[in-house]
Amino acid sequence: GDSVTQMEGPVTLSEEAFLTINCTYTATGYPSLFWYVQYPGEGLQLLLKATKADDKGSNKGFEATYRKETTSFHLEKGSVQVSDSAVYFCALSDRQGAQKLVFGQGTRLTINP
Amino acid sequence: ETGVTQSPTHLIKTRGQQVTLRCSSQSGHNTVSWYQQALGQGPQFIFQYYREEENGRGNFPPRFSGLQFPNYSSELNVNALELDDSALYLCASSPDRISSYNEQFFGPGTRLTVL
């Protein structure tokens, strides 16, 4: 079945550092891809999305490009802030049936001032 | 526009008991999905409801059941609670079962602890 694999955390960076969180997926069709963020004690918030190959999703300085050839959707940000500290989840949704979200295991990011 | 709301926020039950969790979908949304998030893990799909009918189910036993009401709010019921059912239960709504990018909007979750 469909699956998502994220780089293992936790990840700790200094403020203004460059961030990459790797995400690869396995899917039988042509899924939509998402990054969700979860702040402490809260539910999930959609950070960005891409619906087809070569699409780039972006929001709040974060970017990810849908790479069909490498089945990847890596999250990047050029200069992180303390407020970016959270857990980040990569997810896919196929376009068939229930169109459920399949999540990776999450990557905890801590940014130190 | 009101977002997705869930109740209660926290719940403590004992093994063998039954529990009902509630979710109000975002205005205009007719599809509700439920997810279980164990500590330190990504959410796992339980099931989805579209216009009051179950529209898909994940790998969860039948003691996990649900309902969707005419106003598109939803309930998740779990019978014969087990210790492993302790988790954050997330509800998500979306504007349509069929959409070009399947965006789902999540509520804050209900933290269930089974003792």
Report, as an integer, the average pLDDT of B35-41: 93
The answer, yes or no, to whether residue B40 has pLDDT greater than 60, is yes
Task: HSE, CB side, 13 Å, CA atoms: give it for residue A95.
Answer: 10
Q: Which of B48, B55, B107 sits opposite A43 (nearest CB)?
A: B107
- β-strand B53-57 against B64-68: which pairing, if any? unpaired
pLDDT, tens only, B67-110: 999 999 999 999 999 999 999 999 999 887 655 456 788 999 99
Asked if B5 reaches chain A (Cβ–Cβ under 8 Å), the answer is: no
Angle at A77 between CA A76 and CA A80, to 5 degrees: 135
B38, closest residue in chain A (CA to CA): A105
| Per-residue model confidence as pLDDT tens for chain A (113 residues) | 889 999 888 999 999 999 999 999 999 888 899 999 999 878 899 999 998 899 999 999 999 999 999 999 999 999 999 999 999 999 998 766 667 899 999 999 999 99
Give the DSSP letter string of chain B: ----EEE-SEEEE-TT--EEEEEEPPTT--EEEEEEE-TTS--EEEEEEETTEEEEE-S--TTEEEEE-TTS-EEEEE-S--GGG-EEEEEEEES-SS-SS---EE---EEEEE-
